[in-house]
Amino acid sequence: MKIKILKRTSNELKIEIEREGHTLCNALQKALLEDDTIEMAGYDVPHPLVASSIIYVHTKGQQKPEAALRKAAETVRNQSKEFRKVFKEALKEWKKKTRNPT
């Protein structure tokens, strides 16, 4: 993964993420939009054959956009950890039921 900063001001950030598509960008956008200090957040995949996405963050001014993006990335990371844990538990339960059907 390679990140290139396209635009940065005190309350906006536009970055290009190489080799990433909708999966990561959609999760980041959702986490950003749940933050009350974000005025606007979005992403674009300019061409479906080129694995590169652009994320745009515009804050209301209470925090820097890069801090908001770091916070959103941490939120996505924690959600992934929680999903992995719950998924492992569900698999264990499923295996237990299939080995010992009642």
Which distant-in-sequence residues (6+ apart) come within 8 Å of 5 by Cβ? 13, 14, 15
**Structural domain boundaries, residue 67:** 2-99
Domain count, the chain: 1
CATH number at residue 90: 3.30.1360.10
pTM for the structure as a whole: 0.84
Q: Residue type at 49?
A: L
Q: Around 98, how many Cα atoms within 13 Å sit in the side-chain half-sphere?
A: 6
Mind listing the pLDDT tens digit for each residue in 39-85? 999 999 988 888 899 999 999 999 999 999 999 999 999 999 999 99
**Cβ atoms < 10 Å from Cβ of 66:** 14
